[in-house]
A and B are shown apart, each in its own frame.
Chain A
Amino acid sequence: MKAAHAHNAFKLEDEEVKRLKEIAKELRVWIIRMLTEAGSGHPGGSLSAIDILTVLYFHTLRHHPNDPNWPVRDRFILSKGHGVPALYACLAKSGYFPMEDLLTLRKATSILQGHPVAQTVPGVEASTGSLGQGLSIAQGLALASKMDGTHYRVFSMIGDGETQEGQIWEAAMSAAKWQLENLIVFLDYNKGQIDGPVKEIMDLEPLASKWAAFNWDVQEIDGHDIKKILDAIERTRAIPGKPHMIIAHTIKGKGVSFMEGKIEWHGKTPTKEEAEIAIREIEGSAI
C-alpha cells in the first residue's frame, strides 16, 4: 500500500517534470521568435534563465494572471532585466497578455519594452535593467509581506555579472539581518557577461561560500534540470530564518547548440535563417 502510494507520487512528479519541460521547450521557441522579430535583445541570458522561470510561473508562484494585482500574490522580480524575453514568454503563456504580443517586442507601439517596465505590462512588478537593483526591491516586498503577516513569497533572479554590483552585497547583508525566509533568489550562473567570461572580467568565486558567509541558506544546482529546480525550491521551506540563495549553474544560450556558451550571443539576435535552424533544433530535442 505504502509502496504503491510512493510509486504514484513518483509518477506524478515525473509527469509534472515532463509538463514543465514541454512548456520550457515551447517558450524557448518563442524567445527565438520574438528576438528574431525584434532584431535586437539578449538571447544568451534569456535561454539560460527560461527553465527556472518556467518552474516559477507554471509550478511555484501563487498568482492569478486575470488579477495581476491580487494583493497576496507571490512576487517575482527579474533583477537581470535584460533577460526579459524569458519573463515576457512566461507571462504571455500564463495568460497575462496574448502570445502574439510577444512578436511586438521592442517596437514603439508595443507594451513590451527592451527591459522590464513596472505598471505597463501586466505581471511586471518593478522596472529593472540597471543591474544590481532588483534584489533590494525584492527584499522590500519580502519585508512588506512579513509585516502584513500574509507571508507571500518573493522570488528574484540576479545575473552572475550583476553580482559584481555593490548593491547586491548590501542587500545580501540586510536580507540576512531581517531573516527573510520568504525571499528566494536564483543566481543565473551562466558564466558569461558582455565583455567576456565572468571568471576573467571579475571572478565571483568562491561564490557559494560568499553567500553562506553573508548568512544565507545556499544551494547549488544545475539550473536546467527541472527536477533539481523543483527540489531546491521545495527545500527552502524547511530552512527558517534565512534568505535563500539558489546558485543555478546554467549555460548561456542553452538549447541552441550554436549559441551555447558563446559570449557573442549575449546581446546579438539570430538572422531569419539562424532562427529557423535554432527552432528546428529546439523542437527536435528530446523531453
Chain B
Amino acid sequence: MAHKATRSSFGETIAKLAEKDSQIVVLDADLGKSTMTGEFAKKFPDRYFEFGIAEQNMIGTASGLALGGKTPFAASFACFLVGRYETIRMSVSYSIANVKLVGTHAGIGIGEDGYSQMGVEDIALLRSLPNFTILQPADDREAQAAVTWASIYKGPVYLRFTRQKVQDVHDDHYQFKFGKGDILKTASPAKESSKPRVAIFATGGVVYNSLKAAEDLEKEGILSTVVNIHTIKPLDEALVLELARTHKNIVTVEDHSIIGGLGSAVSETVAESGIPTKVLRLGVKEFGYSGSPEDLYENFGFSIPKLKQSILSFLK
C-alpha cells in the first residue's frame, strides 16, 4: 500500500503531463518546494513562472495565460489562494478563464504550522462561484487521475491536496469518473430490519480513516456504505439522494469547515429533496492549532476511534 501526500502526486503528474501537453504552464508564489512543482520547474524552466510572495498577481496572470491559450496550474497553500478570493472571482471565474488552482496543505492535517497555514474555508468560498469545478482526491492514484482530468477539461478547476501522506483506498484498476461518487464499501444486506444503516460521504485526507471506521462498525452491527467524494462540485446528487432513501442516516466527513463544504453540499441536496434523513456533519468547527497531524486528527475527531464514536452516538 502506497502512502503518499497527494501534493506529491500532483507534482509528479503535472511534470509527466507537460511532456505531451505543451500548453501546460505552472505558476508558484514562493512555495514551489511545498507545492511539489520542482520537477516541472527543472524539466520546463520556460514554462514555469515564479511570482514570489504575490498570490493575487499570480492568479491574475494565470487568467491572462489561460486567455492566451495556455493551461495554467497556479499553486499555493489552499488558504493563501482563497485569501485572494476576489481576484479568483473576477479574473478567473467571471473571466471564464481556463485556470487550474492548486491548493495544497488542505485542512488541519498539515499539523505543526498551525491555523495560519491551514486551508479550512477554501471549498466553502470557491463552491459559491458558479462555474468552478472542485476536485479533492483521496489518494495517489486518484490525485493523478484528477490532475489529468483537469488538464483536459476547459474551465476553472480547484484541486485540493494534502500536505500529509495518505493511505491508498484504490487499487491499480481504479477508474476515476468525474462527477460520480466513488463507492468504496457497500452496506451488507440487512439481516434484521432493525439494524441501523448509515451512508458515509468522505472527501480527501479523511477518506481512509472513514473507511476503516466503517469497516470496524460493520463488525458491531452497523451497516454502512462509504462513498469517496472526489468531485465536490458538481456533487453527485443522484447518489446522495439514492443513499438518503436507502440508508436514512448520512454522515459527512471532511478536513474542512463544516460550513460550506461537503457537509453543506450534501445537506442542501437532502434538505431540498424532502426525503426524511438524519445528517451528521463531521468537520472543523473552530480554529486549528499547532500539533502533530495525528494528535490533531484525534482532537478534531478524524481518528478512526473518534469517527466510530461520533457515528455510534449519532445512530443512537
A interface residues (Cβ-Cβ under 8 A, vs B): 71, 77, 117-119, 125-130, 132-145, 147-148, 166-167, 170-171, 173-174, 178
A136 partner, pick from B64, B69, B94, beta carbons under 8 A: B64
Q: How far is the CA of A148 from the CA of B25 in the complex (A)?
A: 12
**CB-defined A-B contacts under 8 Å, sample of 29:** A71-B69, A77-B64, A119-B95, A126-B63, A126-B67, A126-B91, A126-B95, A128-B90, A130-B90, A133-B90, A136-B61, A137-B64, A137-B67, A138-B64, A139-B64, A140-B60, A140-B61, A140-B62, A140-B65, A140-B67, A143-B68, A144-B68, A147-B25, A147-B47, A147-B70, A167-B60, A167-B87, A171-B57, A174-B57
For chain A, what secondary structure do more than half of its interface residues adopt (helix, strand, loop), or is it mixed? helix
Q: Knowing A170-B54, A173-B52 are in contact, say whether A137-B94 is a contact too (CB < 8 A).
A: no
In the complex, what's the smallest C-beta–C-beta distance from A70 to chain B, in angstroms?
12
Query: Chain B's interface: helix, strand, loop or mixed, by majority?
Result: helix
On chain B, the residues within 8 Å of A126 by CB distance are 63-64, 67, 91, 95, 97
Query: Which residues in B have their C-beta under 8 angstroms from that of A148?
Result: 68-69
Would you call B90 and A141 a contact (CB within 8 A)?
Answer: no
* Contact flags B88-100 to A (C-beta < 8 A → 1, else 0): 0111001111000
Using A144-B65, A170-B54 as known contacts, say yes or no to A137 and B96 having CB atoms under 8 A apart: no
Cβ–Cβ contact B47 & A174, under 8 A: no
| Extra 4 A-B pairs, beta carbons < 8 Å, given A126-B67, A174-B57 | A137-B61, A141-B65, A147-B70, A148-B69
CB atoms of A144 and B56 under 8 A apart: no
Q: Which of B39-81 contact A (CB under 8 A)?
A: 46-47, 49, 51-52, 54, 56-57, 59-70, 72
Residue numbers in A under 8 Å from B62 (CB-CB): 140
Interfacial chain A residues near B51, Cβ < 8 Å? 170, 174
Complex-state Cα separation, A139 to B96, whole angstroms: 17
Report the minimum CB–CB distance from A132 to chain B (whole Å). Answer: 8
Query: B86 in the interface, Cβ–Cβ < 8 Å?
Result: yes
State in angstroms the CA–CA spacing of A185 and B302 once bound together.
Answer: 51
Tell me whether A144 and B64 are in contact (CB under 8 A): yes
Q: Are A118 and B96 in contact (CB under 8 A)?
A: yes
Most chain-B Cβ atoms within 10 A of its Cβ — which of A77, A132, A138, A144? Answer: A144
- Contact partners of B57 in chain A: CB under 8 A: 136, 139, 167, 170-171, 173-174
Q: A145 contacts B68, CB within 8 Å?
A: yes
What separation, in Å, do the CA atoms of A144 and B72 have in the docked complex?
10
Q: Please judge, given known A-B contacts A170-B54, A174-B57, whether A141 and B68 are in contact too, CB under 8 Å.
A: yes
Nearest CB in chain B: distance from A176 CB, A: 12
Q: Residue B90 contacts which of A127, A138, A142, A174 (CB distance < 8 angstroms)?
A: A127
CA distance A128 to B60 in the complex (A): 11
Say how far B57's CB is from chain A's closest CB, in angstroms: 4
Q: How many angstroms between the C-alpha atoms of A7 and B87 in the bound complex? A: 51
Q: Which of A129, A141, A171 contacts B67 (CB 8 A)?
A: A141
A135 CA to B54 CA in the complex, in Å? 14
A143 contacts across to B, CB distance below 8 A: 49, 61, 64-65, 68
Are B64 and A141 in touch, CB under 8 angstroms? yes
Interchain CA distance A140-B90 in the complex, whole Å: 15
Q: Are B60 and A136 in contact (CB under 8 A)?
A: yes
In Å, the complex CA distance between A145 and B67 comes to 11
Q: CA of A125 to CA of B25 in the docked complex: distance in angstroms?
A: 20
Which listed residue (B25, B69, B70, B95) contacts A137, Cβ 8 A?
Answer: B95
- A140-B87 contact in complex given A117-B94, A118-B94, A171-B61, C-beta closer than 8 Å: no
Interchain CA distance A119-B52 in the complex, whole Å: 31
A139 to B56, CA, bound (A): 13
